Chains A and B, each alone.
Chain A
Amino acid sequence: MITDTAERFSLRFDADNYRRIIAGKEVILHCHHYNSRIQRTIEFAEAVDGRSMVIECAEAVFREHLELAFIPEDDESTRWQVATDLYSHLGYGSLDFARVQDDLVTASSSHFVEGWRAGFPDCDRPVCSVTSGYIQATFLAVTGELVTVQEECCALQQGSECRFRVDRNRATPSISLERVDTTNTELSSTEMKAVDSNNVNAQEIIEALVAMPIHGGEDGLIPSFNVYLASTPADLYNLMCIRFIEEMTAKGLGELAREQLVYDAETCGMNTFRGIMASTEWDALVAPMIQEDRDTLFAIIAVSNALGWGNWHVSSYDNEDGLALFSPNAYEASGVLTWRGRVAEPCCLMLTGVGAGLMQLIHGAGTLEERFGQYQSSELQCRGQGDACCTFEVECSD
Chain B
Amino acid sequence: MSRTRREQVHSCIHPDTYRYFLDHFRADALWDECGKVFGPWEQHPTLPIRELHCKAFVLRAPDSGTPVTLLRKTACSHDELDRFHSIVGWLETQETEILP
Which of A39-47, A209-217, A347-355 makes up part of the contact surface?
A209-217
Contact A227 B12 (CB under 8 A): yes
Q: Report which of B13, B19, B60, B99 forms a contact with A118, defined as CB distance below 8 A.
A: B13
From known contacts A118-B14, A223-B71, A226-B71, infer whether A284 and B9 are also in contact, taking CB-CB under 8 Å: no
Q: B47-65: which residues lie under 8 A (CB-CB) from chain A?
A: 47-49, 51, 53, 58, 60-62
Q: Let me know if B11 is at the binding interface, CB within 8 A.
A: yes
Distance, CA A227 to CA B15, complexed state (A): 11
Q: Which residue of A lies closest to B59 (CB)?
A: A280
Distance, CA A272 to CA B11, complexed state (A): 7
Instruction: Name the distance in Å between A337's Cβ and chain B's nearest Cβ.
Output: 33
Q: Let me know if A342 is at the binding interface, CB within 8 A.
A: no
Q: Report which of A155, A226, A284 forms a contact with B11, defined as CB distance below 8 A.
A: A226
What number of A-B contacts does a CB cutoff of 8 Å give? Answer: 74
Contact A283 B10 (CB under 8 A): no
Contact B47 A117 (CB under 8 A): no
Within 8 Å CB of B10, what residues of A?
Answer: 274-275, 278, 368
Q: Which residue of B lies closest to A213 (CB)?
A: B45
Within 8 Å CB of A213, what residues of B?
Answer: 45-46
From known contacts A114-B74, A278-B19, infer whether A226 and B9 are also in contact, taking CB-CB under 8 Å: yes
Q: B39-93: which residues lie under 8 A (CB-CB) from chain A?
A: 44-49, 51, 53, 58, 60-62, 69, 71, 73-75
Instruction: Name the distance in Å between B95's Cβ and chain A's nearest Cβ.
Output: 19
DSSP majority for the B interface?
Answer: loop
Within 8 Å CB of A223, what residues of B?
Answer: 13, 58, 71, 73
Q: Report which of B11, B60, B61, B74 forms a contact with A274, defined as CB distance below 8 A.
A: B11
Within 8 Å CB of A285, what residues of B?
Answer: 47
Task: Count residues on chain B whose CB falls below 8 Å from chain A CBs.
Answer: 28
Instruction: Name the distance in Å between A213's Cβ and chain B's nearest Cβ.
Output: 6
Instruction: Name the distance in Å between B66's Cβ and chain A's nearest Cβ.
Output: 11
Within 8 Å CB of B4, what residues of A?
Answer: none
Instruction: Name the distance in Å between A103's Cβ and chain B's nearest Cβ.
Output: 27
Q: Which residue of B lies closest to A275 (CB)?
A: B11
Within 8 Å CB of A208, what residues of B?
Answer: 46-47
Q: A222-261: which residues lie under 8 A (CB-CB) from chain B?
A: 223, 226-228
Instruction: Name the distance in Å between A285's Cβ and chain B's nearest Cβ.
Output: 6
Q: Which residue of A lies closest to B53 (CB)?
A: A217
Contact B15 A118 (CB under 8 A): yes
Could you give, for residues 1-34 of chain B, a 1 whenever the CB lies within 8 Å of some chain A CB and a 0 otherwise? 0000000011111110101000000000000000
Name B's A-contacting residues (CB within 8 A).
Answer: 9-15, 17, 19, 44-49, 51, 53, 58, 60-62, 69, 71, 73-75, 99-100
10 residue pairs A–B, Cβ–Cβ below 8 Å: A114-B13, A114-B74, A223-B73, A275-B9, A275-B10, A278-B11, A279-B60, A284-B62, A367-B100, A368-B11
Q: Which 6 pairs, one residue from A and one from B, show the smallest C-beta to C-beta distance?
A: A275-B11, A274-B11, A280-B60, A226-B12, A271-B11, A278-B9
Besides the known contacts A278-B10, A280-B60, 11 further A-B residue pairs in the complex with CB atoms under 8 A apart: A113-B74, A114-B13, A117-B74, A155-B74, A211-B46, A213-B46, A275-B11, A278-B9, A278-B99, A283-B62, A285-B47
